């Protein structure tokens, strides 16, 4: 297992440092930026944390436990997804099963890899909070204890996730589990956000524990909850009580050892059986025969991409999650925040703005990866007599259709609740369709400029930096669109034909400019692209 | 180019070179392949075979020189040249979440095949490659050989004049390989041109009208199998097969084999 962990460490190092000058530059820049943000967060957190530290001990405990509950839940959900990928679909798994590595050693390697990743995520997310607390209380020397508590806490959900996957795959094929995991992640995220938004709307704010605790504070006091053990270890360390802290950490470590032992004891033999079972192809489903109708290339690509999206639960859940969140935001009880912001504007203004942001997330998933999702299959299109313009338009078609359709449904649902007149619903729909089309073109163009074609998995088709860049560009685009269509409405009389037409023209101009520039750049990039 | 001239050579490489940075993958390639000819490219790993085929189908741009497919320059007139060719890469990645018949419909749509023609051609291709039963299943459930056959069907759906195949027999079972060989021979007999790369010398020897041996980016030898064997005999002691001719051109691995044996014994 030590050799495997060493190989993983070496692979990580090679990927970050030994893949050429550009990658080294990226690693240094990204690392420096990340560290800067991480360090900058510490003083920002010190002030609010100071207040919490000054409050009653029970209050502080609940706040820290709330944060650790969220981290534990996040680790549990992601560990399920990671376990399916690493224990059943990793490229090295077939080879490792043929060399004399014990099944338990193999599982242990997967467990420690995931735990390292979980600890890194924990340090990135909660590190500033914990360091700020230690700085404020002057207990920086006890920080290793706090870090140990965090790692010991994460071991249990990671082990549980792995065990769950190994046991389930013994019964259900691994491919189905992978698809099911996507739905699970979607469902968990949706439930937590839904509860948070609804609780906020109905209760007018969250109780004592603040934004980190959407569930209320009562049960977080409970001593049976492992995150509260870790929270006790942390808060005791902040008070300088290292012995008390160590006691809770010992309990956490005992739990971690028990969880890992259970996984290796039960999971070891089951893993190999499950893997062997996963090699048997699941029952093949016959689908309806394809029609003989001849479609133009753009529509053929739209149909192909639509089918691919519909049959890929992972992509589908990534698409539906933001839409569902925006639907909850728009339709939750006592919703009205967006309307109160836009009291002097037409009644469609608020729903349209929110729907545009929903479309931003839809096209961030579909448009940005439209070209990149071709991955290693791109040769199919590039060796066909398909012009690059048709190719780009074909790849643009699905994001436009889905984003316009989904955002229209969202906006109309909200407008119906607000009793917006039918005429204004139609008018706002035209504005929305224009703006969203521009947004989709922006995303597709950006995705064509930097496509990642090394993968067959569409999820890998865009990098995180491109996604962040697009969210930035897309937000600026939405801002410009809203300002451009608002200016004619406020400078002339609201509701006149002239002002309405001017707003439509302004919207169309923004969409055309954004789309034309990025698609042109994407076209130029694809012309130079060699496969 | 006049139609009569197009009939003379369907594939033409004129002084084609390809560099990747400092590394020359293909050097000064001059080669013509006539209609109805089955041309095989053989050579060691990394010799430039795949790069040559990728340039011919428009996936890579030649650094110098030009390539004509049925008289159309693959760079200047790429779209038109691609109407005349079909291509199957080595270990072809195809859309996993489409069914076999949907994949062929997509290929037919991209190639502009009429509904009547595809109604005749797609079932025939599926039948010919034993894929009729699997046509309604998603490609992700296909074996490697089935994927290879489907990629071949997709390349043939528009009845191209030139077919480029990169390692076409890899992944096929003996029955599939036989079907492919028969099909390729039939295609050439009906005036189509086939340009393939292969590591399987027996395939090249049994199937190809002419064979080119690639070594270090250069077309080191080219001719019929008989001509190459004769050339190999002239260059040194040889048992007289294509393998010996290949070794004579690309260098014998005897020393490397001896080193490997010594390492294994130690």
The tens digit of pLDDT for each residue in A511-527 reads: 999 999 999 999 999 88
Segment holding B16, helix H or strand E: strand B11-20
pLDDT tens-digit profile of A42-51? 888 777 777 7
Q: What whole-number percentage of chain B has pLDDT above 90?
A: 17
Residue in A174, A313, A376, A380 to test binding to B, most B beta-carbons within 10 Å: A380
H or E element that contains B31: strand B23-33
Number of A/B CB contacts below 8 angstroms equals 108
Work out the pLDDT band at A495, boundaries 50, 70, 90.
Answer: low
Long-range contacts of A422-429 (CB under 8 A, 24+ apart): A424/A346, A424/A347, A424/A348, A425/A348, A427/A348, A427/A500, A428/A346, A428/A348, A428/A351, A428/A352
Which one of B96, B105, B110 has the shortest CB-CB distance to A386? B110
Condensed to tens digits (0 to 9), the pLDDT of residues A109-168 reads 888 888 888 888 888 888 888 888 888 888 888 888 888 888 888 898 899 888 888 888
Chain B residue numbers touching A312 (CB-CB < 8 A): 97
Percent of chain A with pLDDT over 90: 16
* pLDDT for the residue A205: 41
Q: Measured between beta carbons, which residues in chain B are less than 8 angstroms from residue A314?
A: none
Q: Count other Cβ atoms within 10 Å, centred on residue B253.
A: 12
What pLDDT is attached to residue A192?
A: 66
Distance between CA atoms of B64 and B66, rounded to whole angstroms? Answer: 7
pLDDT at A337 over 50: no
pLDDT at A196: 63
Q: Which of A275-289, B60-74, B175-189 has the highest mean pLDDT?
A: B60-74
Task: Band the pLDDT of A303: cuts 50, 70, 90.
Answer: very high
- The reported pLDDT for the residue numbered A88 is 82
**Which of the four pLDDT bands, split at 50, 70 and 90, describes residue B240?**
low
Q: Is B141 in CB contact (< 8 Å) with chain A?
A: yes
Residue B191: per-residue pLDDT: 85
> Which one is predicted more confidently, A99 or B245?
A99
Whether residue A307 and residue B138 make contact (CB cut-off 8 A), yes or no, is no
What is the rounded average pLDDT of the residues A427-451? Answer: 91
Q: Give mean pLDDT, residues A178-182.
A: 71
Q: Please judge whether A289 and B96 are an interchain contact, meaning their C-beta atoms are less than 8 angstroms apart.
A: no
Buried b (16+ CB within 10 A) or exposed e, A464-499: eebbeebeebbeebbebbbebbbebbeeeeeeeeeb
**Are A383 and B99 a contacting pair at CB < 8 A?**
no
Q: How far apart (Å, rounded) are the C-alpha atoms in residues B212 and A195?
A: 69
User: Would you state the structure tokens that stand for residue A87, as one six-digit string?
Assistant: 């224990």
Spell out which residues of chain A touch residue B112, defining contact as CB-CB under 8 Å: 294, 385
CB contact under 8 A, B136 and A288: yes
pLDDT category, B20, cuts 50, 70, 90? confident
Checking if the pLDDT of A58 tops 70, the result is no
Average pLDDT over residues B204-224: 85
Q: Is the predicted pLDDT of residue A22 greater than 50, yes or no? A: yes
pLDDT of residue A434: 92
Q: Which residues of chain A neighbour B114 with C-beta distances below 8 Å?
A: 294
| Nearest chain A residue (CA) to B54 | A531
Which of B258, B88, B6 lies closest to A380 in space, CA to CA? B88
- C-alpha count within 13 angstroms, C-beta hemisphere, residue B41: 27
Q: What is the pLDDT of residue A201?
A: 57
More confident residue, A328 or B31: B31
Closest chain B CA to residue A309: B97
Spatial separation of the C-alpha atoms in residues A465 and A443, rounded to whole Å: 13
Whether A304 and B98 lie within 8 Å, measured CB to CB: yes
Parallel/antiparallel/unpaired status of strands B85-88 and B38-42: unpaired
Looking at residue A80, its pLDDT comes to: 82
B43 min Cα distance to partner chain A (Å): 21
Chain B residues in contact with A286 by the CB 8 A cut-off are 136-137
Tokens standing for residue A172: 């259900």
Cα–Cα distances in Å, from A199 out to A204, A213, B198? 8, 11, 66
- Name the residue facing B109 among A282, A294, A456 (closest C-beta): A294
**A297 vs B109: CB contact, 8 Å cut-off?**
yes
pLDDT value at residue A294: 83
Tell me which residues of chain B, numbers 48 to 67, contact chain A at a CB-CB cutoff of 8 Å.
54, 57-61
pLDDT reading at A299 higher than 80? yes
Under DSSP, the state recorded for A373 is G
The pair of three-digit structure tokens given for residue A491, joined into one six-digit string: 């400078």
CA separation for the pair B95, A244 (Å, rounded): 58
Q: Evaluate if residue A366 carries a pLDDT over 50.
A: yes
**Measuring CA to CA, how many Å separate A254 from each of A115, A229, A247, A248, B147?**
16, 12, 11, 10, 51
Mind telling me how many Å the CA of A146 is from chain B's nearest CA? 47
Q: Which of A288, A292, A384 sits opposite B110 (nearest CB)?
A: A384
Q: Residue A60's pLDDT is what? A: 74
Class of residue A435 by CB neighbours under 10 A (exposed 0-12, middle 13-18, buried 19+): buried
Q: Determine the distance in angstroms separating the CA of B241 from the nearest CA of chain A, rounded to an integer.
A: 36
Predicted model pTM: 0.74
pLDDT digits (tens, 9 = 90+) for A452-471: 877 767 777 777 788 888 89
Tell me the pairing of strands B193-197 and B162-166. parallel
pLDDT band at A254 (very low <50, low <70, confident <90, very high): very high
Q: Which of A179, A315, A375, A379 to mutate to test the interface with B (most CBs of B within 10 A)?
A: A379
What is the complex's ipTM, to 2 decimals?
A: 0.83
pLDDT class of B206 with cuts at 50, 70, 90 = confident
Is B80's Cβ below 8 Å from some Cβ in A?
Answer: yes
Q: Tell me which chain A residue has its CA closest to the CA of residue B121.
A: A292
**Average pLDDT of the residues in A473-488:** 87
Q: Is B147 on the interface with A (CB under 8 A)?
A: no
Q: Does B102 touch chain A (CB under 8 A)?
A: yes
Over pLDDT 70: what percentage of chain A? 85
Summarize the confidence of residues B23-32 as an average pLDDT. Answer: 88
Summary mean pLDDT of chain B = 83
Q: Check pLDDT > 90 for residue A23.
A: no
What is the distance in angstroms between the Cα of A175 and the nearest Cα belonging to chain B? 11
Q: Is B99 on the interface with A (CB under 8 A)?
A: yes
Given a cut of 80, whether residue B250 has pLDDT beyond it is: no
> Chain A within 8 Å of B198 (Cβ-Cβ)?
no
Q: Are residues A294 and B115, on separate chains, in Cβ contact within 8 Å?
A: yes
Written as six digits, the tokens of B74 are 């693959």
Instruction: Count the Cβ atoms, other than its own, within 10 Å of residue B219.
Output: 21
Degrees, nearest 5: CA angle A275-A278-A281: 155
What is the average pLDDT across B32-48? 87
For residues A331-335, average pLDDT: 62
- Chain B CB contacts of A20 below 8 Å: none
> Would the pLDDT of A331 be above 90?
no
Q: What is the pLDDT of residue A139?
A: 80
Q: Which pLDDT belongs to residue A101?
A: 80
Q: Find chain B residues with C-beta within 8 A of A296's C-beta.
A: 109
Position with higher pLDDT, A51 vs A255: A255
Is B85 in CB contact (< 8 Å) with chain A? yes
Q: Which residue of B has its CA nearest to A526?
A: B59
* Cβ-defined contact of A383 to B82 (cutoff 8 Å): yes
């Amino acid at each position: 297992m030590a050799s495997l962990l060493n190989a993983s460490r070496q692979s990580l190092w090679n990927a970050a440092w030994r893949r050429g000058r550009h990658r080294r530059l990226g690693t240094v820049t990204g690392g420096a930026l990340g560290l800067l943000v991480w360090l900058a967060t510490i003083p920002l957190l010190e002030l609010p944390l100071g207040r919490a530290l000054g409050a009653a001990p029970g209050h502080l405990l609940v706040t820290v436990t709330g944060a650790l509950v969220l981290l534990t839940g996040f680790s549990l959900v992601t560990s399920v997804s990671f376990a399916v990928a690493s224990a059943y679909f990793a490229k090295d798994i077939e080879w490792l099963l043929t060399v004399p590595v014990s099944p338990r050693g193999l599982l242990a390697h997967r467990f420690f890899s995931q735990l390292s990743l979980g600890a890194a995520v924990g340090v990135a997310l909660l590190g500033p909070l914990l360091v700020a607390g230690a700085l404020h209380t002057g207990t920086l020397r006890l920080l290793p204890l706090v870090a140990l508590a965090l790692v010991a806490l994460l071991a249990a959900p990671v082990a549980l996730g792995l065990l769950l996957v190994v046991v389930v795959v013994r019964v259900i094929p691994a491919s189905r589990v992978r698809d099911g995991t996507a739905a699970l992640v979607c469902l968990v995220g949706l439930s937590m956000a839904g509860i948070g938004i609804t609780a906020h709307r109905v209760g007018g704010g969250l109780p004592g524990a603040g934004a980190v605790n959407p569930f209320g504070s009562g049960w977080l006091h409970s001593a049976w909850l492992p995150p509260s053990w870790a929270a006790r270890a942390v808060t005791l360390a902040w008070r300088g009580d290292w012995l008390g802290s160590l006691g809770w950490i010992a309990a956490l470590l005992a739990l971690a050892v028990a969880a890992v032992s259970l996984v290796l004891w039960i999971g070891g033999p089951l893993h190999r059986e499950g893997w062997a079972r996963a090699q048997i192809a699941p029952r093949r489903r016959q689908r309806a025969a394809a029609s003989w109708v001849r479609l133009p290339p753009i529509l053929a690509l739209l149909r192909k991409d639509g089918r691919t999206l519909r049959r890929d639960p992972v992509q589908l859940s990534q698409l539906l999650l933001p839409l569902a969140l925006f639907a909850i935001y728009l339709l939750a009880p006592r919703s009205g925040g967006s309307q109160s912001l836009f009291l002097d504007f037409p009644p469609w203004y608020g729903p349209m703005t929110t729907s545009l942001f929903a479309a931003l997330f839809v096209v961030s998933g579909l448009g940005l990866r439209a070209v990149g999702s071709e991955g290693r299959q791109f040769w199919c299109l590039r060796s066909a007599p398909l012009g690059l313009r048709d190719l780009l338009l074909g790849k643009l078609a699905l994001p436009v259709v889905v984003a316009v359709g989904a955002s229209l449904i969202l906006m109309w649902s909200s407008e119906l609740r607000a009793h917006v007149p039918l005429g204004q619903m139609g008018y706002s729909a035209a504005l929305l369709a224009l703006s969203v089309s521009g947004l989709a073109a922006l995303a597709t163009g950006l995705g064509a400029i930097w496509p990642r074609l090394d993968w067959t998995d569409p999820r890998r088709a865009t990098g995180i930096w491109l996604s962040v860049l697009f969210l930035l560009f897309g937000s600026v685009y939405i801002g410009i669109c809203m300002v451009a269509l608002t200016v004619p409405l406020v400078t002339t009389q609201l509701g006149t034909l002239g002002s309405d037409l001017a707003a439509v023209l302004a919207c169309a101009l923004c969409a055309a400019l954004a789309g034309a520039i990025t698609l042109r750049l994407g076209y130029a990039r694809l012309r130079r692209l060699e496969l | 180019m006049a139609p009569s001239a197009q009939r003379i050579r369907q594939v033409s490489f004129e002084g084609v070179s390809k560099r990747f940075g400092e590394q020359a993958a293909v050097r000064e390639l001059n080669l013509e392949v006539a209609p109805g000819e089955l041309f095989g490219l053989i050579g060691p790993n990394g010799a430039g075979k795949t790069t040559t085929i990728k340039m011919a189908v428009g996936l890579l741009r030649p650094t110098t020189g030009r390539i004509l497919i049925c008289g159309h320059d693959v760079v200047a007139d790429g779209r038109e040249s691609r109407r005349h060719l079909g291509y199957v890469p080595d270990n072809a990645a195809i859309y996993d979440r489409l069914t076999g018949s949907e994949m062929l419909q997509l290929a037919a749509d991209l190639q502009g095949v009429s509904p009547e023609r595809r109604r005749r051609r797609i079932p025939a291709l599926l039948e010919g490659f034993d894929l009729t039963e699997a046509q309604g299943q998603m490609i992700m459930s296909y074996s490697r050989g089935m994927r290879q056959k489907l990629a071949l069907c997709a390349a043939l759906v528009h009845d191209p004049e030139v077919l480029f195949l990169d390692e076409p027999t890899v992944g096929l079972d003996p029955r599939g390989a036989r079907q492919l060989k028969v099909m390729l021979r039939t295609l050439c007999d009906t005036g189509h041109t086939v340009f393939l790369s292969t590591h399987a010398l027996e395939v090249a020897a049994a199937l190809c009208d002419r064979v080119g041996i690639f070594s270090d980016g250069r077309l080191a030898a080219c001719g019929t199998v008989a001509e190459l064997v004769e050339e190999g005999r002239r260059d040194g002691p040889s048992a007289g097969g294509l393998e010996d001719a290949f070794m004579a051109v690309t260098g014998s691995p005897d020393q490397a084999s001896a080193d490997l044996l010594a390492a294994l014994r130690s």
